[in-house]
């Protein structure tokens, strides 16, 4: 299974897919077929895992047998390491499609006298390749040889010979290397493996870790040059290719109900546009989540799949709270239509959140997605970081034609917050909720600040959270007090 891509000179290069989500997009098809690729990074950056995933996917997904020559961990250790990711190495080895050879050198038991070469390594590799019919080979981490043998000059010559030999064999190889001082790898392997180089990085900033991947070099092929965040989760590696941001998504004309018929009415009678992005902002306790719950409930009633990211409450809390206003979401969870994904924002960095959300969305394939509340992400990033992250997320959701509703918590009874003004440009529809104290009672007001592509109401409507959900109060029956809500709120809400 190889894909072809055209190099800058117009030559055709075959590519071998890694089967790693995102990486094949960045490299436009995978690694160069029949050539070695260097994967380098610091300790714990995920080199071995990436290499093994490439190998196992080869066997499992693409029918390409593989060979692992490991210099650091023995077969059992490797098998244990990857078992948690669902790779069953012993089974693959048993099927004869994967061979693992642990190459171990103990310097203390070796005496060097006179000339030698590393033909033994070639013999072993060749034997493993032949016995499995391997198309993919992983060498992890070959630099360990430098610790076992003293003749650096000879080692370098032999490595050069090895990489040439691998090319002659026509196998697609992944060679891992430890990041060195000022060099991509300690021993300067990049000098020998110069077809493709992938750099992995694991940074911890403010106790929050983010993994990043960069294609440093890919001879004869276009590739994404950015740093891409990636994720190591229970089902392997996911790399997030930054979406094009080319604003090419469709603009569907069909509409979806907000779940509140009076609100549909305010949005030119039909509700939100499908695939659009809605921001619901307001201070604490104004009913943002309730508004989202109505939308979820309505979508599930239509049999659509909904995904709800929670950054504050647990799913149980939310289900309980919504039950108290008469919205039973639990049945949709039981039916498998509604899925919650709750994560503390501080659990990891924004980019990791982004990759995680991407992956969860891709896996669940919803038509409606809720993010509640996005403002909690500000605890792990700056305004501009959050905006950049949301831009990418929203862009992705739009590409997939997923309707997204984001809630945003406004800290106080002040002007519209900076967060909101920064992300509001990404929004198609912006709803504002406010709490006002009028005559000793709390009044809730709702206002459609903007809604692109439709004639929407400009009224501030008073609403109540009842045991039958969020209900807009009748405008015709509006009392003086309700008008007061309208008046105050309008004044404040016109900050846009």
Partner 1 sequence: MKKSNGSAEYRLRLYVAGQTPRSISAFTNLKKICNEHLKGRYQLEIVDLLQKPQLARGDQILAIPTLVRRLPEPVKKIIGDLSNTERVLVGLDLRPAR
Binding region for partner 1 (CB under 8 A): 101, 103-105, 109-121, 123-124, 126-127, 145, 148-149
Q: Distance between CA 48 and CA 30 in Å, rounded?
A: 17
Q: What are phi and psi of 415, to 5 degrees?
A: -65, 170
For partner 1, which is the closer residue by CB, 112 or 474? 112
Residue 103 CB, shortest distance to partner 1, in Å, is 6
For partner 1, which is the closer residue by CB, 113 or 207? 113
For partner 1, which is the closer residue by CB, 104 or 442? 104
Other C-beta atoms lying within 10 Å of the C-beta of residue 217: 19
3-state secondary structure of 483: helix
Give me the sheet containing 460-466, strands edge to edge.
338-342, 306-310, 368-372, 403-409, 277-282, 429-438, 441-451, 460-466, 469-472
Q: Which residues pair with 136 in a beta bridge?
A: 66, 172
Q: How far apart are the first and last CA of the chain?
A: 54
Residue 167 CB, shortest distance to partner 1, in Å, is 21
Q: Are 202 and 46 in contact (CB under 8 A)?
A: yes
For partner 1, which is the closer residue by CB, 97 or 217? 97
What is the β-pairing status of strands 460-466 and 441-451? antiparallel
Residue 116 CB, shortest distance to partner 1, in Å, is 4
Q: Distance between CA 112 and CA 221 in Å, rounded?
A: 43
For partner 1, which is the closer residue by CB, 14 or 149? 149
Q: Are 97 and 66 in contact (CB under 8 A)?
A: yes
Residue 74 CB, shortest distance to partner 1, in Å, is 11
For partner 1, which is the closer residue by CB, 115 or 467? 115
HSE-up (13 A, CA, CB side) for residue 127: 9
Distances (CA, A) of 484 to 220, 262, 435, 439, 463: 68, 21, 12, 10, 14
Residue 175 CB, shortest distance to partner 1, in Å, is 16
For partner 1, which is the closer residue by CB, 72 or 262? 72
Tokens describing residue 436: 């006002």
Residue 125 CB, shortest distance to partner 1, in Å, is 10
Residue 128 CB, shortest distance to partner 1, in Å, is 9
Other C-beta atoms lying within 10 Å of the C-beta of residue 157: 13
Q: Distance between CA 280 and CA 372 in Å, rounded?
A: 10
For partner 1, which is the closer residue by CB, 57 or 141? 141
Residue 44 CB, shortest distance to partner 1, in Å, is 27
For partner 1, which is the closer residue by CB, 59 or 128? 128
Residue 155 CB, shortest distance to partner 1, in Å, is 10
For partner 1, which is the closer residue by CB, 161 or 323? 161
Residue 102 CB, shortest distance to partner 1, in Å, is 8
Per-residue b/e over 380-405, b at no fewer than 16 CB within 10 Å?
bbeeeebbbbbbbbbbbbbebebbbb
């Amino acid at each position: 299974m190889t894909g072809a891509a055209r190099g800058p000179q117009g030559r055709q290069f075959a590519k071998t897919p890694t089967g790693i989500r995102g990486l094949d997009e960045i490299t436009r098809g995978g690694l160069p077929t029949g050539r070695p690729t260097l994967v380098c990074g610091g300790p714990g950056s995920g080199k071995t895992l990436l290499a093994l995933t490439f190998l196992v996917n080869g066997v499992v997904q693409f029918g390409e047998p593989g060979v692992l020559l490991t210099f650091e961990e023995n077969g059992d250790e490797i098998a244990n390491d990857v078992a948690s990711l669902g790779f069953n190495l012993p089974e693959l080895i048993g099927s004869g499609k994967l061979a693992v050879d642990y190459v171990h050198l103990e310097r203390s038991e070796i005496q060097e006298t006179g000339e030698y070469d590393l033909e033994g390594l070639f013999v072993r590799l060749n034997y493993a390749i032949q016995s499995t019919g391997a198309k993919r080979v992983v060498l992890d981490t070959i630099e360990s040889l430098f610790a076992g043998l003293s003749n650096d000059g000879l080692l370098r010559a032999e490595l050069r010979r090895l990489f040439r030999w691998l090319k002659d064999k026509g196998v697609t190889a992944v060679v891992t290397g430890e990041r060195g001082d000022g060099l991509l790898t300690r021993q300067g392997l990049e000098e020998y493996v110069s077809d493709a180089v992938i750099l992995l990085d694991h940074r911890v900033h403010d106790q929050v870790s983010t993994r990043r991947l960069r294609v440093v070099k890919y001879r004869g092929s276009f590739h994404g040059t950015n740093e891409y965040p990636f994720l190591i989760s229970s089902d392997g590696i996911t790399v997030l290719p930054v979406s094009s941001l080319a604003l090419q998504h469709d603009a569907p004309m069909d509409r979806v109900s907000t779940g509140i018929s009076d609100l549909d009415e305010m949005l030119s009678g039909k509700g939100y546009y499908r695939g659009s992005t809605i921001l619901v902002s307001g201070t604490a306790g104004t009913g943002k989540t309730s508004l989202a719950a109505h939308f979820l409930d309505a979508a599930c009633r239509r049999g659509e799949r909904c995904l709800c990211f929670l950054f504050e409450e647990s799913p149980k809390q939310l289900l309980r709270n919504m039950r108290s206003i008469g919205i039973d979401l639990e049945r949709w969870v039981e039916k498998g239509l509604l899925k919650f994904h709750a994560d503390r924002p501080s659990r990891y960095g924004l980019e990791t959140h982004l990759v995680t959300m991407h992956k969860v969305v891709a896996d669940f394939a919803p038509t409606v997605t809720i993010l509640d509340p996005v403002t909690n992400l500000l605890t792990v990033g700056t305004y501009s970081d959050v905006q950049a992250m949301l831009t990418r997320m929203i862009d992705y959701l739009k590409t997939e034609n997923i309707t997204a509703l984001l809630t945003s918590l406004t800290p106080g009874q002040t002007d519209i917050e900076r967060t909101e003004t920064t992300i509001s440009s990404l929004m198609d529809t912006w709803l504002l909720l406010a709490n006002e104290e009028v005559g000793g009672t709390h009044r809730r007001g709702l206002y459609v600040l903007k809604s692109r592509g439709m004639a929407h109401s400009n009224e501030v409507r008073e609403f109540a959270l009842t045991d039958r959900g969020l209900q807009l109060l009748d405008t015709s029956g509006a009392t003086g007090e309700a008008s007061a809500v309208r008046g105050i709120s309008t004044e404040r809400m016109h900050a846009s």
